[in-house]
Amino acid sequence: MVFLVLLASILIGLVAIFQYSEETQDYHTQRLERKEKSIKRHIDFVIRETTYEVTTNKIPLIFKEEIHKVADVHNIQINLYDLEGSILKSSKATLPQDSIQKCISTNVLNKLLNTVNHRAVEDREEKGEHFQSSYTYITDQNFKPLAILNLPYLENDDFLAKELYEFFERLGYTYLFMLFIAVGLAYFLSKYITKSLKTISNKINQTRLEKRNEKIDIGATTQEIGTLVKSYNSMIDELEESAVKLATSEREQAWREMAKQVAHEIKNPLTPMRLTVQSFQRKFNPEDPEILNKLDEYSKTLIQQIDTMSSIASAFSNFAKMPAQQKEEINMVEVLDLALDIFSEDTITFNCQTKTIIANFDRTQLIRVVTNLVKNALQAIPDGRTPEVIVELQEYNTDITISVSDNGTGILKENIDKIFEPKFTTKSSGMGLGLAMIKKIVETYNGTLTFTTKENIGTTFLVTFPKD
């Protein structure tokens, strides 16, 4: 309501200004025309009564004194020009000559000659004041042109401007009064209308799925508000039923997710254990002088994976909490070399510029991260293509990076935003928890897991985490 009052006042003000401008222009134009007609009648009378020969050359003599009388009677300056546009006589002859236009412009003369009514009006600015100068012919009794009559008319808007100011002053008082009334009406109407809505709003804001919600009872009210209250109360009944169903469903879903998570976590250590045994079988040579060292290395790997499974089993007994992550000072190069040794040596290339990179990280979790990324890389390589997986370990001032690159099929554009989502997978088998859990492990150590991919060329996953 307040906005409409303000908008109406502004629009009326703009319309009033436009109307004032149009009326002012029409007023000055019509006033000049009236003065011109009156002066031409007066001049015709002088020409009829003169004793001089009525010719252009005699005009200065005919109007030697009469031009001042005509100017005084009509309160306007009068200039007379010959038909060529040169000054003949002016009622302001006592002023300096440079204050009077000595010649009429060619454009005005052409307009006088070529228009039907033989009349021209010229607008000009002089010393900050606006003038209209009208030009028309003076004729003898036979309507033969004798001279050109020029009337410089000053547009004095003081009176009209005063009227406009008074109009706006009254309009302002009127709309100020209306504004106060509108504010008062808007306030009381809004309080009346929104009183019931405020009660409903407060109840809605207090509505929670996990608690018992009260229904609304606001007594007598309008039909529309009553319908809204009835709909809210009906929603509360449905919400109570949905809360019970949701709680049951959430419990079932939680157990299903827990079972999937545990199954996935147990499956991860089983794969490297199987690969370790197969590698041992393939490389076993009783006559190898390093057989005891290799046996010890294979045993350590199996023990580590068994410990991981044990920790998962312990965590499952505590409502599927994953193994606690503990920082320990480890040599990253040795741990990664040990983790990659369970895979085929011809398939994976491990690059590191130094033999020792010390960092604080959970040994078991690091092996889990690397083996999972390498396994995913191998599975991304299609049949018929020679597998190439490159693992690089680099040390910087405060950070350590591990990159795993493959020459697989890459990640499709539509899957890029979903790659770290739990339960998302592009494989025919698997539960899609691997990358999501790796990302969570890395982020626990204030690290990041990112990737770059090119379709049908390959993908690189980059793990970055601080040394300490």
Above pLDDT 70, what percent of the chain?
A: 82
User: pLDDT tens digit string along 368-412?
Assistant: 889 889 988 888 888 888 889 999 999 988 899 999 999 998 988
Q: pLDDT band for 207, please (50, 70, 90 cuts).
A: low
Averaged pLDDT score across all residues of the chain: 79
- Integer Cα distance of 106 and 104 in angstroms: 7
What per-residue confidence (pLDDT) applies to 460? 94
What per-residue confidence (pLDDT) applies to 352? 92
Q: pLDDT band for 321, please (50, 70, 90 cuts).
A: very low
User: pLDDT tens digit string along 336-380?
Assistant: 988 888 776 678 899 998 889 998 888 888 888 898 899 888 888
Q: pLDDT band for 428, please (50, 70, 90 cuts).
A: very low
Here the tokens at position 290 are 């390093």
All domains in the chain, ordered by first residue: 2-161 (3.30.450.20), 325-468 (3.30.565.10)
DSSP letters of 190-250? HHHHHHHHHHHHHHHHH--TTSPPPPP---S--HHHHHHHHHHHHHHHHHHHHHHHHHHHH
What per-residue confidence (pLDDT) applies to 312? 67
What per-residue confidence (pLDDT) applies to 251? 64
| Inter-residue contact 121 to 132 (CB < 8 Å) | yes
Higher pLDDT, 39 or 437: 39
Q: pLDDT band for 132, please (50, 70, 90 cuts).
A: confident
What per-residue confidence (pLDDT) applies to 317? 55
Indicate if the pLDDT at residue 59 is higher than 50. yes
What per-residue confidence (pLDDT) applies to 386? 87
User: What is the pLDDT averaged over residues 31-58?
Assistant: 86
Indicate if the pLDDT at residue 118 is higher than 70. yes
Above pLDDT 90, what percent of the chain?
A: 9
What per-residue confidence (pLDDT) applies to 450? 92
User: What is the pLDDT averaged over residues 280-285?
Assistant: 76
Lowest-confidence pick of 227-231, 244-248, 322-326, 342-346: 322-326
Run of H or E residues at 182: helix 158-206
Instruction: Report the chain's terminal Cα–Cα distance, integer Å.
Output: 64
DSSP letters of 368-413? HHHHHHHHHHHHTSPTTS---EEEEEEE-SSEEEEEEEE-S----G
What per-residue confidence (pLDDT) applies to 65? 85
User: pLDDT tens digit string along 75-89?
Assistant: 888 888 988 888 888
Here the tokens at position 212 are 């018992």
Q: pLDDT band for 101, please (50, 70, 90 cuts).
A: low
Here the tokens at position 5 are 């009052």
What per-residue confidence (pLDDT) applies to 458? 92
Lowest-confidence pick of 21-30, 64-73, 199-208, 335-344: 199-208
Here the tokens at position 25 are 């222009």
